[in-house]
């Protein structure tokens, strides 16, 4: 999800409107990559062929499901004792193991959970949503933004999102109206546009007829209207210098980013519900606790060795082909007979860092009109994320930190106690007096999570001006799309959206199509099953 993270970082550092414009232009609002059309594989195509799929994250599970539908025999080898990969909901009793850290055991109230990895699905991610629908996983709305949430400046200045958005709009409209009235834009605007612009600015910025901004109901009320004499009072507008002085002001644009726009979804009960449902429907269940440690190829097969179960018993598996969705951060440590140049390419893939720190607490934020959404607090913890589920229940799980990039690298080097303290302090700053209500802290540093060793690759690490999603044009990224003998690398890591599960689906589709072609088994005349995400599938719904 690196585009949005870079987007956030850019906006967070905003000092004027220039960088915002650049960010928006670079994003090409509305210009997200269209999902490829998945036509599915011909029924019966894979008869007599065995594919080993490495990893039971979204990419591996989708690959396994689609290959099975086409008649392949599929064995999924998954190192962890669960499916989902990075899709991981922490519930009561979940053990969090991190390299170099003491084990944490989650102790949330029954029914409470936090998505340690992916937590939201944009409505433009049709293919993830289609699999959720196909496998009967109920989805609910993930409230991704709240106008009641806060932008908290480094000096502790708190501004409600609705005030920040509408007072900034009002102040900028007022400035523009002044410039127009003084004739400063006469060279730029035609007289017809100038005439049309003023009435628009009055509406857009909620200005008075003289072009002055005197505050707006859109920014909230001093006190809401009530009975008889309790009339609504409009707040005084914030000065532009106070707005600009809040380093988080740029984050008021967060929900304009296409991947963050309403309506956002989450699976009811935790992100991994979708993965569990796909796995349950496989003809052959994934082999859990199967850590692949060695891979060797001959001209007609691939031999795998894996450690199985808690005792680490060594087992072997031979398959005709392999789809590996193992993250490159892990694959680089596995003993393979890939060409030296390929190994060097895999080892060279740069990885980002990302951390989440969660607490359980009485829902004090709901007393402050906040039901879901994010408050932005700046470095080192970046944001506070409020739960969209269990509204009005006794306790909820709140994120006190979700950071990425360089800040996250430094953050994960702190002790877990210090990470918790920093996250508690960030919440205390946004919600004074409530830091002490936070209990049952749990820290996830993705760079230290075994079998992930990082949140997502940072393909555009050396091109900070480029967003990641949809803008990856890296020679190694292209080279690794090419099968290595009988081994096909896949996963969100090899898609144009490495930080989104949708990318994992698209990469799986792309690689299994290649595998089918390569096997020389493409039979265009065979009847095609309506496959999830395909036009035929949509037509049958
Ligand atoms: C903090 C965070 C927030 C995110 N937010 C979102 C979000 O809101 N929405 C969204 O859609 N996406 C989000 N993502 C991205 C999303 O999690 C990934 O893009 C997606 O889950 C990747 O799926 P995958 O199948 O490619 O890889 P993975 O899920 O990593 O699956 C790879 C599998 O390989 C297994 N494996 C590793 N080594 C071995 C081995 N030696 N032998 C056998 N198996 C092995 C792993 O255990 C794992 O199950 C987020 C990610 C993170 C970390």
Give per-residue pLDDT as tens, 314-344.
999 999 999 999 999 999 999 999 999 999 9
The CATH number of the domain covering residues in 161-245: 1.20.1440.240
Examine the pLDDT at 541 and tell me if it is beyond 90.
no
Mean model confidence pLDDT for the chain: 90
Confidence of residue 16 (pLDDT cuts 50, 70, 90): very low
The position carrying tokens 């629908």 is 133
pLDDT at 138: 98
pLDDT at 524: 40
Q: Ligand 1 pocket test: pick from 2, 57, 264, 356 the residue with the most ligand atoms within 8 Å of its Cβ.
A: 57
pLDDT at 520: 60
For residue 85, report the distance from its CA to the centre of ligand 1, in Å: 5
Burial class (CB in 10 A: 0-12, 13-18, 19+), 305: middle
Index of the ligand 1 atom closest to the CA of residue 490: 26
Cβ neighbours, 10 Å, residue 512: 27
For residue 200, report the distance from its CA to the centre of ligand 1, in Å: 47
**Choice between 331 and 523, residue whose per-residue pLDDT is larger:** 331
CA atoms lying within 13 Å on the CB side of residue 60? 31
Domain boundaries, the chain: 50-82+274-350+456-540, 89-148+262-270+352-448, 161-245
Give per-residue pLDDT as tens, 424-443.
999 999 999 999 999 999 99
- Predicted TM-score of the model (pTM): 0.91
Same fold, 50-82+274-350+456-540 and 161-245: no
Segment 488-496 shows an average pLDDT of 98
Examine the pLDDT at 533 and tell me if it is beyond 70.
no
* Ligand 1 contacts CB of residue 119 (under 6 A): yes
Give per-residue pLDDT as tens, 225-248.
899 999 888 889 999 999 999 999
For residue 192, report the distance from its CA to the centre of ligand 1, in Å: 54
For residue 87, report the distance from its CA to the centre of ligand 1, in Å: 6
Give per-residue pLDDT as tens, 382-415.
999 999 999 999 999 999 999 999 999 999 999 9
Q: Cα torsion at 496, 499, 500, 501 (round to 10°)?
A: 100
* Ligand 1 contacts CB of residue 87 (under 6 A): yes
The position carrying tokens 């910025």 is 205
Examine the pLDDT at 523 and tell me if it is beyond 80.
no
The answer regarding whether domain 89-148+262-270+352-448 maps to CATH 3.90.660.10 reads yes
How far apart, in Å, are the Cα atoms of 33 and each of 30, 154, 189, 226, 502?
Answer: 9, 36, 34, 48, 11
Integer Cα distance of 368 and 531 in angstroms: 46
Tokens of 293: 């440690």
Give per-residue pLDDT as tens, 341-377.
999 999 999 999 999 999 999 999 999 999 999 999 9
Of 132-136, 219-223, 532-536, highest mean pLDDT: 132-136
pLDDT at 140: 98
Tell me the percentage of the chain whose pLDDT exceeds 90.
Answer: 83
The position carrying tokens 């079998």 is 451
Confidence of residue 213 (pLDDT cuts 50, 70, 90): very high
Integer Cα distance of 62 and 267 in angstroms: 17
- Return the CATH superfamily for domain 50-82+274-350+456-540: FAD/NAD(P)-binding domain (3.50.50.60)
């Amino acid at each position: 999800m690196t585009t949005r993270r870079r987007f956030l970082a850019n906006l967070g550092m905003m000092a004027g409107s220039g960088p915002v414009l650049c960010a928006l232009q670079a994003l090409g609002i509305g210009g997200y990559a269209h999902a490829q059309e998945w036509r599915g594989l011909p029924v019966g195509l894979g008869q007599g062929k065995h594919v080993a799929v490495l990893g039971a994250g979204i990419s591996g599970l989708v690959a396994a499901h689609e290959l099975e539908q086409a008649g392949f025999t599929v064995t999924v080898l998954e190192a962890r004792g669960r499916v989902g990969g990075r899709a991981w909901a922490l519930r009561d009793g979940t053990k969090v193991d991190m390299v170099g850290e003491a084990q944490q055991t989650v102790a949330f109230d029954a029914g409470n959970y936090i998505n340690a990895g992916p937590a939201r699905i944009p409505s433009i991610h049709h293919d993830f949503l289609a699999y959720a629908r196909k496998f009967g996983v109920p989805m609910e709305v993930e409230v991704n933004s709240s106008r009641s949430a806060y932008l908290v400046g480094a000096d502790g200045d708190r501004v409600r999102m609705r005030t920040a958005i509408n007072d900034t709009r009002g102040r900028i409209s007022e400035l523009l109206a002044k410039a127009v009235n003084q004739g400063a834009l006469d060279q730029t605007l035609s007289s017809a546009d100038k005439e049309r612009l003023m009435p628009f600015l009055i509406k857009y910025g909620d200005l008075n007829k003289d072009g002055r901004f005197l505050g707006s109901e859109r920014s909230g009320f001093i006190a809401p209207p009530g009975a008889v004499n309790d009339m609504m009072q409009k707040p005084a507008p914030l000065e532009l210098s106070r707005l600009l002085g809040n380093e988080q002001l740029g984050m008021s644009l967060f929900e304009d980013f296409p991947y963050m726009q309403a309506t956002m979804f989450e699976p009811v009960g935790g992100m991994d519900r979708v993965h569990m449902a796909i796995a349950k429907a496989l003809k052959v269940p994934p082999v859990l606790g199967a850590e692949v440690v060695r891979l060797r190829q001959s001209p007609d097969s691939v031999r795998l060795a894996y450690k199985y179960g808690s005792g680490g018993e060594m087992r072997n598996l031979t398959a005709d082909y392999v789809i590996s969705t193992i993250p490159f951060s892990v694959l680089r440590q596995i003993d393979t007979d890939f060409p030296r140049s390929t190994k060097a390419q895999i080892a060279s893939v740069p990885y980002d860092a990302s951390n989440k720190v969660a607490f359980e607490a009485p829902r004090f934020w709901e007393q402050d009109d906040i039901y879901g959404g994010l408050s932005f607090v700046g470095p080192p913890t970046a944001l506070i994320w409020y739960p969209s589920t269990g509204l009005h229940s006794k306790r909820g799980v709140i994120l006190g930190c979700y950071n990425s990039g360089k800040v996250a690298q430094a953050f994960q080097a702190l002790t877990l106690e210090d990470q918790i303290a920093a996250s508690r302090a960030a919440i205390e700053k946004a919600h004074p007096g409530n830091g002490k209500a936070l209990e049952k802290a749990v820290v996830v540093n993705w760079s230290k999570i075994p079998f992930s060793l990082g949140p997502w690759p940072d393909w555009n690490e050396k091109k900070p001006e480029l967003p990641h999603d949809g803008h990856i044009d890296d020679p190694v990224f292209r080279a690794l799309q090419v099968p290595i003998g009988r081994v096909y690398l896949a996963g969100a890591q090899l898609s144009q959206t490495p930080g989104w599960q949708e990318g994992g689906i698209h990469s799986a589709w792309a690689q299994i199509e290649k595998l089918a072609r390569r096997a020389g088994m493409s039979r265009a005349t065979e009847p095609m099953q309506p496959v999830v995400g395909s036009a035929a599938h949509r037509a049958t719904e």
